[in-house]
Amino acid sequence: MAYDRGLTLGTDALTRVADGRTIVRAATLEARAGSMVALVGPSGSGKSSLLRLINRLDEPTGGRVLLDGRDYREIAPRELRRRVGMVMQRPYLFPGTVADNVRFGPAQRGLTVSDAEVDGLLARVDLAGFGARGVDRLSGGEAQRVSIARALANGPEALLLDEPTSALDEGRVEFVERLVGEMVRERGLVCLMVTHDREQARRMADRVLRMADGELVGED
């Protein structure tokens, strides 16, 4: 259920052309605080590319990304990425320990995350006691959950998830689905999730949008 307060995240005719190919074409959507929108569609349809545009990892050729009606180009990239967290399908973790990674975002803004806060975030993603572990000793599923904890440490208003359960076994999939749902409700987050699994999209999302050939083509 969506809240009536908090961030509204939207795109207005968002477009990206690269190497003469239109990757995302005039994508327009809106998502409100406390709600989840899932993007489904075949591989190469532009789902992940759309998330990268929203987080400004790639620059659009046309159109806008709007946070509460404000063009995101008016917001400094570091501040944008604090407000809009992203968990990638193949998460990149910085060399060092799990705790180092969880602390990374706040440290960029001169903030300190206590050991207790790190432990709490890791416990929330079922990685209690992993703080001192080197990231080179993590499985793919553990790295994905560290990436979720790292995004949450920044206190985001929106969360972009690109296939967040792709590296997880069945039991962990259910755990992460439940965790994400709780975070959306408890924190009033806007959540956009890419998934290849239509059943997962229907279980988790308030709205399911289909993409094909770079376009949003309707609701599932």
Are 65 and 10 spatial neighbours (Cβ–Cβ below 8 Å)?
yes
Residue at 28 is within a domain: no
Contact at 8 Å (CB) between 24 and 50?
yes
CATH number at residue 197: 3.40.50.300
**What's the domain count of the chain?**
1
Instruction: Give strand ranges (E) for 91-189.
Output: 158-162
Residue holding tokens 């289909």?
210
In a domain, 192, yes or no: yes
pLDDT in tens, 17-27: 999 999 999 99
In which domain, by residue range, is 120 found? 33-55+76-219
The reported pTM is 0.92
For 187, the enclosing helix (H) or strand (E) is: helix 170-187
- Which band of pLDDT confidence, cut at 50, 70 and 90, is reported for residue 171? confident
pLDDT value at 1 more than 60: no
Indicate whether 163 pLDDT > 60: yes
Is residue 169 one of the residues assigned to a domain?
A: yes
Average pLDDT over residues 112-130: 95
**Does residue 71 form part of some domain?**
no
Q: Is 118 part of a structural domain of the chain?
A: yes
Residue at 128 is within a domain: yes
Q: What's the chain's Rg over C-alpha atoms?
A: 17
The β-bridge relationship of strands 215-219 and 207-212 is antiparallel
Q: Is 13 inside any structural domain?
A: no
